[in-house]
Amino acid sequence: MSMELMVKAMKTKVGNPLRKLVLIKLADNASDQGECWPSYQHIADQCEIARSTVKAHIRELEKAGLVRREFRRIGELNQSNLFHLNLSGGAGAAPV
């Protein structure tokens, strides 16, 4: 867990309370370099929301430039995505 990223996530405006919760959960799982790989289901379970809702909010966080998703596969098997958080701007205003 990166406390610095948690603080930045709390200060970042994302325009939606569930989107903010997903961002905070990603920051909670992230290393100090801003990388994490929780499954959509893990995030959904921890945030008490649907997996599809998590995916939708992560897409919006990507559009806002706050998260970059790296798809991972080993052969035919999908692995959990690698997420890169970009919260260097602090309390930037993301579109609603």
**Domain assignment present for 91:** no
Please give the pLDDT value at position 93.
46
**Domain assignment present for 9:** yes
Closest CA to 2 of 25, 22, 31: 31
Domain count, the chain: 1
**Domain assignment present for 90:** no
Q: What does the block give as tokens for 71? A: 């798809």
For residue 55, what is the domain's CATH number? 1.10.10.10
The answer to whether the Cα torsion of 47, 90, 11, 92 is positive or negative is: negative
What range does the domain containing 62 cover?
Answer: 3-85
**Domain assignment present for 92:** no
Please give the pLDDT value at position 52.
97
**Each residue's pLDDT tens digit, 26-85:** 999 999 999 999 999 999 999 999 999 999 999 999 999 999 999 877 777 777 889 999
